[in-house]
Chains A and B, each alone.
Chain A
Amino acid sequence: MPMDWILGLFGGLLIGTAAALYLLVSGRILGASGIIGGLVDGSAKHEWAERGALLAGLFAVPAIAAFAVGGSETHVTENWAVLIAAGLLVGIGTRLANGCTSGHGVCGISRLSLRGIVATVFYIAAGGLTVVLFKHVWGII
């Protein structure tokens, strides 16, 4: 377990360094839902190259790293109904709230943004309640 925490801290430092690089050089917020959402709904057409390059790195580097160490496991559920419901909730929710774990969580909290803190409290509380209900009460996940 402590090994997991050390890897968590080290991985977290890499995530924060990535966000700091993107902010200090490109002047932008490293928020995954905003970067993807702006491409999908067409609101960021003029930035497609910059955003596409970021998503390419986000996809390709872990793909190569995971391949190099012999694969990685996501343990994602095989229940398609749960996956579809979850994907829709995450897609709609992050675009309504204008941010997810990276935008509100990492980038918002680090500048003591009230919106970032409130969003994080709500998504962690909702996530915790969802796991309790769907896992322990209803046994669906």
Chain B
Amino acid sequence: MRAFISFIAGGLFGLGLLISGMTDTTKVQGWLDIFGAWDPTLAFVMGGAILPMALAWLFTKGRKPVLAASFPTPPKPEIGRKLVIGSTMFGMGWGLSGLCPGPAVASLSFGGAGGLIFMAAMLVGMVLAPPIRRRLDQPTAAVYG
């Protein structure tokens, strides 16, 4: 049952990415290109996605998920190096290609060789990440010393 819900959620997610145009890298890069022909579509997508999700978070208060023991607890409000360095690296890759993980999977069937190469490199990056994460967890002196 949980796997079935996952499939439905993944399918809706993918359909939303396709309909909204977020599998088209020119629309994503158009949003990031403030000095070019700026394309505001991504803001509408984000706004549209945040709305039902904000209602869902409000609904979680004092309740339990249908098929799980509890809702995810909020992460520690910690703004560390991993968050800042990681998000900056992600943004650079996102800007270069116009792809992020969700749309990369959603467009795999029609994204051609380019989509496959990006996906392969992204998976390699995800394998390389844990040792880098451990290094960033160490005190600064250990990283540079």
Q: Which residues of A contact B (CB under 8 A)?
A: 4-30, 32-33, 36-37, 40-41, 43, 49-63, 65-67, 71-78, 80, 82-98, 100-102, 104-107, 109-111, 113-115, 118-120, 122-132, 134-136, 141
Contact = CB atoms under 8 A, between A and B. Distances in A.
21 contacts: A4-B27, A11-B20, A11-B48, A15-B12, A15-B13, A19-B13, A25-B65, A27-B68, A55-B105, A57-B6, A62-B18, A67-B109, A85-B121, A90-B89, A90-B118, A92-B126, A94-B100, A97-B85, A97-B89, A118-B87, A127-B32
B49 A15 contact: yes
B108 A59 contact: yes
B144 interface: no
A15 B18 contact: no
Contacts of B24: 72-75
Interface string B101-132: 11011111111101101111111111111101
B101 A92 contact: no
B79 A106 contact: no
Contacts of A36: 101, 105, 122-123, 126
A90 B49 contact: no
B93 A20 contact: no
B10 A87 contact: no
A14 B91 contact: no
A77 B114 contact: yes
Contacts of A126: 87-92, 94-95
B97 A90 contact: yes
Contacts of A105: 46, 49
Interface footprint category on B: 35 or more
Contacts of A20: 52-53, 55-56
Given A20-B52, A71-B110, A101 B102 contact: yes
A4 B42 CA distance: 10
A18 B56 CA distance: 11
Contacts of B44: 5-6, 8-9, 12
Contacts of B66: 24-26
A117 to B, nearest CB: 10
Contacts of A26: 2, 5-6, 9, 65-68
Contact of A80 (B46, B88, B117): B117
A7 B1 CA distance: 31
Which 9 A-B residue pairings sit nearest by Cβ, starting from the closest? A91-B125, A12-B48, A11-B20, A87-B121, A126-B91, A96-B86, A57-B10, A97-B86, A89-B93
A131 B95 contact: yes
Contacts of A89: 89-90, 92-93, 96, 125
